[in-house]
Amino acid sequence: MMSQSATENSQSAPHIESLIPRMAEKLRSRFADRHASSAVEDALMVGIHTGGVWVAEKLHAQLGIKQTLGKLDISFYRDDFSRIGMNPQVMPSQLPTTVDDSHIILVDDILHTGRTIRAALNELFDYGRPASVTLVVLGERSGRELPIQADIVGQHISLNEHEHVKLSGPDPLRLEVVQTP
């Protein structure tokens, strides 16, 4: 668990390069246990724009996944779209194949409230009906507003009330804790 102060958090944050191989090994093990007829290399990996795509690119390479990496921009699926308006950098989602009957590995950077994941699932199901969805996140912090839980977590993060975690990248990827106003 990460320490409580922002200064200590940024100094003690694990190097992402050490988290990615551990996350990949957990994914291999999970697929071997749950999907006997399908190897992790045959899954469809989908990253959520922007940080989730950066993490997914590293996992995709580490696992040797055969299918092209999918990318989701969930801007139009957010439940706060009418309050915050249009994201100025909306990009089209890119899925290399149908999601019907695919084992999908959905990747995001930080799981906090669960609303980003809900939006991503809504968009995925608009493309079809997957056989399964495995949620992988680089970091998970408290503050869940929806009953969504990651299957694979790189790091559980404890923060003070006025702190949040930010992923910068894509090369190198770096987690930092910043103060909120």
109 has a pLDDT exceeding 90: yes
With 0-12 / 13-18 / 19 or more C-beta atoms within 10 angstroms meaning exposed / middle / buried, residue 17 is exposed
Instruction: Using pLDDT thresholds of 50, 70 and 90, give the confidence band for residue 180.
Output: confident
In a domain, 168, yes or no: no
Token pair of 84, please? 């915050």
Number of H helices, E strands in the chain: 5, 7
| 104 vs 174: CA distance, rounded Å | 25
Q: Is residue 22 part of a domain?
A: yes
Q: Residue 35 domain-assigned?
A: yes
Q: What is the pLDDT of residue 37?
A: 77
* Across 23-27, 97-101, 149-153, least confident range: 97-101
Q: Does 171 map to a domain?
A: no
pLDDT(171) > 70: yes
Domains: count for the chain: 1
Determine the average pLDDT of the residues in 51-80.
92
Which tens digit of pLDDT belongs to each residue from 117-135?
999 999 999 999 999 999 9
Most confident range, picked from 19-28, 74-83, 163-172? 19-28
Q: Is residue 47 part of a domain?
A: yes
- Higher-scoring residue by pLDDT: 169, 14: 169
In this prediction, residue 181 carries a pLDDT of: 79
Look up the domain containing 44 and give its range.
13-157
Count of CA atoms in the C-beta half-sphere (13 A) of 137: 21
Model confidence, pTM: 0.87
Residue 105: inside a domain, yes or no? yes
User: Using CB atoms within 10 A of its CB, is residue 115 exposed (0-12), middle (13-18) or buried (19+)?
Assistant: middle
Q: Is residue 108 part of a domain?
A: yes
CATH code for position 51: 3.40.50.2020
Q: What is the mean pLDDT of the chain?
A: 86
Residue 167 is assigned to a structural domain of this protein = no
Residue 71 has pLDDT above 50, yes or no: yes
